[in-house]
Chains A and B, each alone.
Chain A
Amino acid sequence: MKQPYSYSPHSRFFARFALWLLAACTLLVVSPVRAAEAPNEMIQRLSEEVLQRINADPALKAGDPRRIDQLVDGIVMPHVDFQRMTALAVGRSWRDATPEQRQRLMDLFRTLLIRTYSGALSQVGDQKVQMKPFRANAGDTDVIVRSEVVQPGREPAQLDYRLRKVGDAWKIYDVNVLGVWLVETYRTQFAQEASGGGVDALIRSLQQKNEQLASGNGKAN
């Protein structure tokens, strides 16, 4: 007989999942993109800038929803192909969704991600982002950039991004936190919700989830 309900080292990652997924979502950052910038350079610049901004803004760190919105909309979203991210998470039923339904799905998904991870902002501190070697061919339009968040006294946390070239700019459309891709993780759940009543059912359950989170933090602690 061993431990009662321990996920043990296997899933200890959940403990850091919160922090890094949030970090990842926010690390998708900043300022006008220079045309010839390589995707790995962009990620590095953005990561550093977001960490810096969070550290410089106590209200943001404390989870002030308005400040988080500002950070996400003003700085993060310009570098994210959020439509593609949502579409991939929703899966093939995306094709049958009307423009209104698609917009609704994007809004709800965005809210869910922000609500869930804004609590982790308070943990941002003396982390540093270290880029891993980047390999890509000249003509590639779809790449993975790997990085690591290092913090004294902790295991480094893996943080990878999948980017696609849209025109001149590289846009992030998936994030990997400690080995877990965001899109893939949501895909089954979304498909599950949509399997009965289609896109509308998915919209309803996302809505419910968000309301539940808004009123008293889900069933947290």
Chain B
Amino acid sequence: MSGRTKRRLPRLLAALAAAATIAGCATTGAEGGTAATRDPLEPMNRAVYEFNDAFDRAIAKPTAQAYEKVVPAFLRDMVGNAFGNVRDVWTAVNQLLQGKPGHAASDAWRVAINTTFGLAGLLDVASEAGIEKHNEDFGQTLGRWGVPAGPYIVLPFLGPSSLRDAPARGVDLWADPLRTIDSHGQRNNAFLLRAIDDRQRLLDAERVVSEAALDRYSFIRDSWFQLRRNQVYDGSPPAAEEDTEWLDELERQESGTGGAAPAAPAPAPAPANTPSGAPGNERR
């Protein structure tokens, strides 16, 4: 890291502490809450989402499609590998911050192998050799440290984020090795290429989201929250409190009413276990 980066560190940590505090205060109980509690800024978020979507349709997506069409797959793989290799550096740092020295070592090892044997990262030989790739960023590190995700925030151009992850994203950018490229022109080209590469990978996914979602906005938001939580816990988050009580209760009632298939919501007054009459209507 350069001297410039070192001098910035204290300021950055102070800002982070502040952001974490704000996020912590603002979001007690927001994790796993309803749409209203997780997304108090919905009107604004939807507006930004619409803007992003328009930008995407007009510029980002056509660019990504052209990229996919013009550049052969093996070259695109190399581009993706090279950026992935750069990302692995920051992943390793975050593993360390999260208290996972084993993973940090394996991710650093990946960088060493891919940078040398992988021809400056163009080939992902480490994965071929069975060294698993991870993706860690500073938002996940904050999550590990106990900072809740906080309210949903859609960032212009960047998409889904939250009160915790948006500032963390700034840290990711601050630590981004691409920023150390000296020439302005080359640096911008690198960022641009990476953006196109990222977008191109999402082309298939986007189709699924369009087809699966009744409302794309809330579909993306709700999957995003789950996804981030899953990432924070490296794939095995504590089982979410699934509220199935009401359904279990309903099933008991309905199977109790004369063996009708559970699909029948018991039109007749139920026996013993439902003293209050019409089952299924007692609470809304």
The chain A residues found within 8 Å of chain B, CB to CB, are 1-18, 21, 83-84, 87-88, 92, 94-99, 102-103, 112-113, 115-117, 119-120, 144, 146, 152-153, 155-156, 158, 162, 174, 178-181, 184-185, 187-193, 205-206, 209, 213, 217-221
User: Of B194, B214, B263, which one neighbours A189 at CB under 8 angstroms?
Assistant: B214
Q: Most chain-A Cβ atoms within 10 A of its Cβ — which of B157, B192, B208, B239?
A: B208
What's the minimum C-beta distance from A148 to chain B, rounded to whole angstroms? 9
Are the C-beta atoms of A192 and B215 separated by less than 8 Å?
A: yes
Bound state CA distance, A220 and B199, in angstroms? 15
User: Of B224, B230, B239, which one neighbours A144 at CB under 8 angstroms?
Assistant: B239
User: Of B35, B133, B208, B246, which one neighbours A95 at CB under 8 angstroms?
Assistant: B246
Binds A, one of B6-14, B55-63, B114-122: B55-63
Are the C-beta atoms of A179 and B212 separated by less than 8 Å?
A: no
Are the C-beta atoms of B247 and A87 separated by less than 8 Å?
A: yes
Q: Which residues of A contact B160 (CB under 8 A)?
A: 7, 10-11
Are the C-beta atoms of B202 and A2 separated by less than 8 Å?
A: no
Contacts of B203-219 to chain A: CB distance below 8 A: 203-215, 218-219
Q: Provided the pairs A2-B195, A17-B208 are in contact, do residues A7 and B128 lie with their beta carbons within 8 angstroms?
A: no
What's the minimum C-beta distance from A137 to chain B, rounded to whole angstroms? 14
What's the minimum C-beta distance from B249 to chain A, rounded to whole angstroms? 9
Q: Which residues of B contact A179 (CB under 8 A)?
A: 226-227, 229-231, 235, 237
Bound state CA distance, A122 and B33, in angstroms? 37
> SS class of chain B's interface: helix, strand, loop or mixed?
helix
In this complex, the interface size class of chain B, counting residues with CB under 8 Å from chain A, is: 35 or more
Are the C-beta atoms of A95 and B281 separated by less than 8 Å?
A: yes
Q: Provided the pairs A7-B159, A179-B226, A188-B35 are in contact, do residues A88 and B244 lie with their beta carbons within 8 angstroms?
A: yes
- The 3 A-B pairs at the shortest CB distance, nearest first, are namely A179-B230, A14-B205, A3-B195
Are the C-beta atoms of A5 and B210 separated by less than 8 Å?
A: no
The chain B residues found within 8 Å of chain A, CB to CB, are 34-35, 52, 55-56, 59-60, 63, 65, 87, 124, 127-128, 132-133, 135, 137, 157-161, 165, 173, 191-192, 194-195, 198-199, 201-215, 218-220, 222-224, 226-231, 235-237, 239-240, 242, 244, 246-247, 250-251, 262-265, 280-281, 283-284
Q: Which residues of B contact A153 (CB under 8 A)?
A: 124, 127-128
Q: Provided the pairs A14-B202, A18-B205, A158-B235 are in contact, do residues A5 and B52 lie with their beta carbons within 8 angstroms?
A: yes
Bound state CA distance, A178 and B242, in angstroms? 18
Q: Provided the pairs A146-B236, A178-B230 are in contact, do residues A11 and B199 lie with their beta carbons within 8 angstroms?
A: no
User: Of B133, B220, B227, B237, which one neighbours A155 at CB under 8 angstroms?
Assistant: B133
Are the C-beta atoms of A181 and B199 separated by less than 8 Å?
A: no
Q: Which residues of A contact B213 (CB under 8 A)?
A: 189
Bound state CA distance, A64 and B265, in angstroms? 36
Q: Provided the pairs A2-B191, A15-B202, A158-B235 are in contact, do residues A189 and B215 lie with their beta carbons within 8 angstroms?
A: yes
Are the C-beta atoms of A17 and B218 separated by less than 8 Å?
A: no
Are the C-beta atoms of B212 and A10 separated by less than 8 Å?
A: no
Q: Provided the pairs A92-B284, A192-B218 are in contact, do residues A9 and B87 lie with their beta carbons within 8 angstroms?
A: yes
What's the minimum C-beta distance from B141 to chain A, rounded to whole angstroms? 14
What's the minimum C-beta distance from B247 to chain A, rounded to whole angstroms? 5
Q: Which residues of B contact A205 (CB under 8 A)?
A: 214
- 14 more A-B contacts (CB under 8 A) besides A95-B280, A158-B235, A179-B235? A2-B158, A3-B195, A5-B195, A6-B194, A10-B159, A10-B227, A94-B250, A95-B250, A96-B281, A158-B230, A180-B230, A184-B222, A185-B222, A185-B226
Bound state CA distance, A21 and B208, in angstroms? 10
Are the C-beta atoms of A11 and B202 separated by less than 8 Å?
A: yes
What's the minimum C-beta distance from B75 to chain A, rounded to whole angstroms? 16
Are the C-beta atoms of B215 and A184 separated by less than 8 Å?
A: no
Bound state CA distance, A153 and B129, in angstroms? 10
Bound state CA distance, A61 and B161, in angstroms? 36
Instruction: Specify the chain A residue showing the minimal Cβ separation from B35.
Output: A188
Pick 11 A–B contacts, CB within 8 A, sort by A: A5-B195, A10-B231, A12-B202, A14-B206, A14-B208, A96-B281, A152-B128, A185-B219, A189-B222, A190-B214, A220-B210
Q: Provided the pairs A3-B195, A185-B223 are in contact, do residues A98 and B158 lie with their beta carbons within 8 angstroms?
A: no
Instruction: Specify the chain A residue showing the minimal Cβ separation from B188.
Output: A1
Instruction: Specify the chain A residue showing the minimal Cβ separation from B239.
Output: A144
Q: Which residues of B contact A13 (CB under 8 A)?
A: 205, 227
What's the minimum C-beta distance from B198 to chain A, rounded to whole angstroms? 4
What's the minimum C-beta distance from B180 to chain A, rounded to whole angstroms? 15
Bound state CA distance, A99 and B265, in angstroms? 6
